[in-house]
Structure 1
Amino acid sequence: MKKFLFLSIFLIPFHLHAQILNKDGEWKYLGVFEETDDFGEEYLSLLEGFLEEIKIDTLRFRVINDLGYYYHTRNLQKSLEIINKGLKEVREAKNEFWEGKMQVSKGAILLRLEDLDHAELELRSALQKLPEVETWLLLTNLGYVYERRGELGKAFEFATQTLQLGEKYGDKKAMAMAYSDISNIFWKQGKYIMGVEYGQKSITLFEERGIRDLDYDFTLHVLGNNLMALGQYDEALPYFQRSSEIGNKYGFYNNLSDTYIALTELYSKIGDFRNGEQSGKEALKYAELLQNDFMVIRSLHSLGRLKNQEGEYDDAILYLERSIRTAAEDFGDMYYLSLVYQDLSHAFEGTGKISESLRAFKTYNELNQKVFNAEADQRIAQLQTEMDVHQKESTISLQNEKLKQQEIIQIFTLLLTGLMVFFLFFLFRVFMRRKKYSLLLEKQNKEKEFLLKEIHHRVKNNLETISSLLALQTAQVDNEELREIMQESQNRVQSMGIIHQNLYQGENLSAIEMKNYFENLGRYIIDSFDAADRISLECNMAPFQLNVDRAIPIGLIVNEIMTNSLKYAFPHNRKGKIRINLKEENSHLYLSVADDGVGIDKDSQVKGTGFGTQLVGLLTQQLDGKMTLSTQVGTEVFFEFQIEKAA
């Protein structure tokens, strides 16, 4: 009876706000903000109450992840608790995919808790567990980590990667998020026209998608910020109003705080201080409900800036100093903290506390080196002068002091100008000499690079000639065993030839990109056995460069093991897969070559001449490595090489 009543609560208002339906004993979940937005602020409570009824692992994991991720818009500690419990469940179930998804959610939560380092660790760990198509939200949050650290260039790189993924897989949400993040970065850089352009692109994609979610809400706010910075207050206001409507409907406390901060700024600029103060207090209310120090700091800053604009400097100081006290010593976002100190300097100046104003402005300048310029230098000099005048006011008349200072400044300016002219002339001479030397070095480097490429090209051509001669000779041999030996020798020559081909075609003349090399080598060997229609190759590894001294013996090792797999692991034209992986960890290289064939008996006698096995052993010894054979499923050969001692 209890279960029947519980289900009734969900099924009766399903068209309004429920996300889960039980039909004929099967559960269907309409993912929040993915398949539907037809619900109200209570959606998280409904999902949370329903969680205990779900017994299907994948459905349960999805609901837990949505709960944890979207609770971070209201209660960061609760969202972290939900995700940690979810991670425990998926790890016990050994579900790597959902472990990666929940790590992305945990990274987003830690980011908003200002624990930037741990957020980055979680996100980078998840990157190894998710397929590429699922990584756009992960990359987005990594971009936020670097944005909070003030590394806007790195944040822009992640936004670009998100955009490329969205275009590759036709994912409008990923593309909209990338445009939104780019718009926000341009706003921080003061490039407001470009910010508006990318914000409008993002809004268009979100509206084509047809779902009003957390990120659409945030993008409305970002576009409003850029328009406000351009002085287009009437155009900006509707975006902030739409953002607050969505935030109130779904309980997005974080976005509501953000939007009310922006409204405080907007009302301040148009002189509506009463509505501005009301908006600032709303921003602070939602920041405190969220228990997010970052938003509390920004809300207090918005109120302090408003009071500065209003001329109520004592109140401004109270808000701004409280904002600074809220920021811990390891507070990561120096951009916003610098703005607090900038406005605090203005407030102190308004009350006549010139010394305190100077200290606050110097702190602002240290935190925001990117905006340190002649204007900032003039500002510091002005405050320094005002402080000196204030301290000497009781003994020296103000007018005489200004005259003396002007004389000193004139003399200093003349001396400094002379020194600068001399210094610039000296720098010009040095620059011209170095430019000539650099041009000479560049010419010599291009000549050497051309010669090296030509050498590699000729070596590759010679190896291809040898390979062709071996092929011609093989065609004339009737003995099957000798034919196989000739074919294997041809493959060994080809494996070295591919390396030299990559060297003269690539930009790096001393290193090989191993993933591409393994793919080319693998296809060649498979084709040489006429097995392309039944044997597939998988190189599940990141792009990885290796110098030639290591690449050649490793290439020969892979050649021998793949040849052995194609000869013995797939009898009677059996279909299968060969997997190659190479990675570097802790100054060691780890290589594995595996197949899903019939496997081998470790105690069985060596088939064929045994030369391939001897060659692999010699090459492994040459690289100061060790080899391990596993035959649990098919055959896997695992190698470990020490990088420092490798020949």
Structure 2
Amino acid sequence: MAGFFSRPIFLRCKKLIFKGFLFYIYGMKRFLLFFLFLIHSNLNAQIFDSNGKFNYLRIFVDTDDFEADYLDNLESSLEHIYQDSLRFMIINDLGYYYHTRNLHKSLEIINRGLEEVREAENNIWEGRMQVSQGAILLRLEDLDYAELVLLSAQEKMPEKESWLLLTNLGYVYERRGDLSKAFEYATQTLQLGEKYKDKKAMAMAYSDMSNLFWKQGRFDKGVEYGLKSLALFEQRGLLDLDFDFTLHVLGNNLVELKRYEEALLYFQRSAIIGEKYGFYNNLSDTYIALSALYNQIGDFENAEESGKEALKYAELLENDFMVVRSLLCLGKMKNEQKDFESAKLYLERSIRTATDDFGDIYYLGRIYQELSKAYEGTNNINKSLEAHKKFHELTQQVFNSEADQRIAQLQTEMEVNQKENTISLQMEKLKQQATIQVFTLILTGLMIFFLFFLYRVFIRRKKYSLLLEKQNKEKEFLLKEIHHRVKNNLETISSLLSLQTAQINNQELQNIMIESQNRVQSMGMIHQNLYQGENMTAIEMKQYFRNLAKYVIDSFDATERVTFDCAMDSLELDVDRAIPIGLIVNELITNSLKYAFPHNSQGKITITFSETDSHLLLKVCDNGVGFDKDKGIKGTGFGSQLVDLLTKQLDGNMTLITTKGTEVFFEFQIGKAA
């Protein structure tokens, strides 16, 4: 039998060992990959491992807690990410934010990402990446292709996410000089943001409007909308590319209003953010704006330094649009210095860089405007006139009455729509307040009714309680009166017995009558304590024993020679037990007085009484001559019979000890009184 099973078991063991080895190799591979990932990734802010699964804190969405190398870290981590949705998200973010540093690399990353999402047939991520692709293309001045890509993405994107697509379509038309169309897209972005309560979308819309108002020369409006945008960005609590851009847009408007100190603060803040995260395009924009500011206040040294910084970042970005604008700001600065030859060199280089395909008519017009001034300064009147005509022609394309009217109309419609929304919100709030007021009134009425009901119940209960209290007092009074009358009746019986005893000459009969009188008195004392005390159902036994002993000792005229000690704590006992125990104690004290102290000798009687969990313990003893069992019971023996009967009635046991005087010990079970 053993030989039959040995080979299959061996083969199974080999298979198990081999599988275990494979799992080990797989686990080690996963560990090594993760270890390499840890080395190359910024885990504090971007990607981290949770139970073997990578999680990604999106840059400028979930966190901004990283340094300028965040794109390098994100790129190095990408080779270890294989989960489709996470990988697509990282590629898209990487490509989009690389456009702030290197437009060509940014486009290369997005194109590679588009190949992956198309192979995976993921339309939504294809649309998202096309939006990033369009944003890069328009910054490369390929405006027509950018528009086609963005329009293609529009049918793939969920409406809630399409605000960035609309924003970039607005940029396309802004670059073309169609400011009214750009304003339309900004308005659509704002409406979308309001619809989905998206603060980023609303902030972007206000930022773009601020920039468009600046280009129109409506600087007060530009400041108003720029401040609206910043307020929304700050509510998000993230420093990102668009927040940075809005700071310098607001600064541009303030410069034109000659509020230079305020503008300088916004530009400096924008530069700090741009330096931290490597936003080369924004840095170039900001330094262009700083150059214009210093130029206006006559600080040409800082103006030139800022213009060269702008050119440096534009060239790092390889963005001809930013290079053109940087050269323009340097040319304008040289014109202000009256250095027309240098101005001409910068401006002619700007025109060459722009080429004939340059899409932004607004900036192209400003280049020709400054070039006209430079030619005029070098006395080249013909070229100056030619450049001025070109400037006028381009300006007419951007700032025509039809475009101005369209922007004004859109602005009016937007403001009316916002006011209508505000009125609707106020009306809704008023309706809510009215509903709350009605509800409050109803609730108050119900509360008043409920309180009134409770008050009525309280009054009725109070009356009932007073009635019960009165009845209890009446019953208590009647019960006390009964106990008082019983006590009086027992005293009457005791008195009758006393009168009868006085007429008897036989000493033995007199003793019997006195004992009977004491028994009646012991019961009378019980009822006296009940009607005089506060508790109508229980007797305090210590005081009762003292009173009983005093009475019995007095009846035998033994006060001077016999002392009594009640060595016990205060203890209450119900009537059913108190009466038979009182009779027992009466009999034992009486026996001690009759027999323990012959010839009127001195003596002492002691009682102890206590209660345990289930028993009552009573001990009555004297220091007399003791009880001689051999001589038998003295007298009639009635007292002994009575004690025995009462002990049985209480389901107790009696023990007699006669070594030193006489000691009688009783043990009664609690709860078994007759």
TM-score normalised by structure 2 residue count: 0.54
Of residues 4, 9, 14, the one that matches 2:39 is: 9
Counterpart of 2:101 in structure 1 is 74
Deviation beyond 3 Å, 4+ runs, structure 1: 370-374
Counterpart of 1:188 in structure 2 is 215
Counterpart of 2:373 in structure 1 is 346
Check conservation: 1:61, 1:86, Cα contact below 8 A: yes
Counterpart of 1:146 in structure 2 is 173
1:602-621 matches, cutoff 5 A: none
Counterpart of 2:396 in structure 1 is 369
1:448-498 per-position Cα deviation (integer Å, ceiling 9, x unaligned): xxxxxxxxxxxxxxxxxxxxxxxxxxxxxxxxxxxxxxxxxxxxxxxxxxx
Shift of 1:373: 9.8
Check conservation: 1:51, 1:63, Cα contact below 8 A: yes
2: CA distance, partners of 1:70 / 1:364: 34
Of residues 114, 117, 122, the one that matches 1:95 is: 122
Shift of 1:253: 0.4
Code of the residue aligned with 1:113 in structure 2: it is L
Check conservation: 1:10, 1:20, Cα contact below 8 A: no
2: CA distance, partners of 1:267 / 1:246: 21
User: Are 2:268 and 1:238 equivalent residues in the alignment?
Assistant: no
Shift of 1:333: 0.5
Shift of 1:2: 4.6
Counterpart of 1:133 in structure 2 is 160
Code of the residue aligned with 1:63 in structure 2: it is I
Check conservation: 2:347, 2:371, Cα contact below 8 A: yes
Shift of 1:5: 3.5
Of residues 209, 212, 217, the one that matches 2:239 is: 212
Of residues 205, 224, 249, the one that matches 2:276 is: 249
Of residues 311, 317, 327, the one that matches 1:284 is: 311
1: CA distance, partners of 2:337 / 2:94: 42
Aligned residues: 371
Code of the residue aligned with 1:3 in structure 2: it is L
1: CA distance, partners of 2:182 / 2:256: 21
Code of the residue aligned with 2:110 in structure 1: it is I
2: CA distance, partners of 1:9 / 1:256: 30
2: CA distance, partners of 1:373 / 1:42: 45
1:354-387 per-position Cα deviation (integer Å, ceiling 9, x unaligned): 111111111111111157899xxxxxxxxxxxxx
Q: Considering only CA atoms, is the larger Rg found in Structure 1 or Structure 2? A: 2
2: CA distance, partners of 1:323 / 1:44: 31
Cα root mean square deviation, aligned: 1.5
Of residues 332, 338, 346, the one that matches 2:359 is: 332
SS class of match (1:276):
helix
Code of the residue aligned with 1:305 in structure 2: it is K
SS class of match (1:53):
coil
Distance 1:5 1:372, change over 3 A: closer
Check conservation: 1:127, 1:138, Cα contact below 8 A: yes
Counterpart of 1:503 in structure 2 is none
- Structure 2 residues without counterparts, runs of 5 or longer: 1-30, 402-674
1: CA distance, partners of 2:261 / 2:77: 44
Distance 1:356 1:178, change over 3 A: same
Check conservation: 2:361, 2:398, Cα contact below 8 A: no
Shift of 1:14: 3.2
Counterpart of 1:317 in structure 2 is 344
2: CA distance, partners of 1:171 / 1:269: 38
Distance 1:373 1:126, change over 3 A: closer
Counterpart of 2:139 in structure 1 is 112
2: CA distance, partners of 1:103 / 1:210: 28
Code of the residue aligned with 2:160 in structure 1: it is V
1:203-602 matches, cutoff 5 A: 203-369=230-396
Counterpart of 2:27 in structure 1 is none
Distance 1:371 1:30, change over 3 A: closer
Counterpart of 1:179 in structure 2 is 206
2: CA distance, partners of 1:372 / 1:25: 59
Check conservation: 1:365, 1:372, Cα contact below 8 A: no
SS class of match (2:121):
coil
Identity of aligned residues (%): 68
1: CA distance, partners of 2:380 / 2:250: 37
1:226-277 per-position Cα deviation (integer Å, ceiling 9, x unaligned): 0001111111000000111100000000000000000111011111111111
1:370-407 per-position Cα deviation (integer Å, ceiling 9, x unaligned): 57899xxxxxxxxxxxxxxxxxxxxxxxxxxxxxxxxx
Code of the residue aligned with 2:75 in structure 1: it is E
1:22-52 per-position Cα deviation (integer Å, ceiling 9, x unaligned): 1110111000000000001100000100001
Code of the residue aligned with 1:201 in structure 2: it is K
Shift of 1:291: 0.5
SS class of match (2:79):
helix
Code of the residue aligned with 1:31 in structure 2: it is R
SS class of match (1:21):
strand
2: CA distance, partners of 1:236 / 1:322: 29
Counterpart of 2:229 in structure 1 is 202
1:108-160 per-position Cα deviation (integer Å, ceiling 9, x unaligned): 00000000000000100000001100100000000000000111000001000
1:627-647 per-position Cα deviation (integer Å, ceiling 9, x unaligned): xxxxxxxxxxxxxxxxxxxxx
Code of the residue aligned with 1:211 in structure 2: it is L
1: CA distance, partners of 2:328 / 2:100: 21
2: CA distance, partners of 1:5 / 1:74: 29
Code of the residue aligned with 1:280 in structure 2: it is G
Shift of 1:10: 5.6
Shift of 1:314: 0.4
User: Are 2:157 and 1:157 equivalent residues in the alignment?
Assistant: no
Check conservation: 2:143, 2:359, Cα contact below 8 A: yes
Deviates more, 1:349-358 or 1:318-327: 349-358
Code of the residue aligned with 2:174 in structure 1: it is E
Deviates more, 1:344-353 or 1:180-189: 344-353
1: CA distance, partners of 2:115 / 2:345: 44
Shift of 1:21: 0.5
Code of the residue aligned with 1:208 in structure 2: it is Q
- Structure 1 residues without counterparts, runs of 5 or longer: 375-647
Code of the residue aligned with 1:295 in structure 2: it is M
Code of the residue aligned with 1:359 in structure 2: it is E
SS class of match (2:157):
coil
Code of the residue aligned with 2:43 in structure 1: it is F
Counterpart of 1:166 in structure 2 is 193
Code of the residue aligned with 2:38 in structure 1: it is S
Counterpart of 1:455 in structure 2 is none
Check conservation: 2:216, 2:399, Cα contact below 8 A: no
SS class of match (2:357):
coil
Check conservation: 2:147, 2:169, Cα contact below 8 A: yes
2: CA distance, partners of 1:264 / 1:89: 43
1: CA distance, partners of 2:145 / 2:382: 39
2: CA distance, partners of 1:338 / 1:222: 20
1:305-326 per-position Cα deviation (integer Å, ceiling 9, x unaligned): 0000011110000000000000
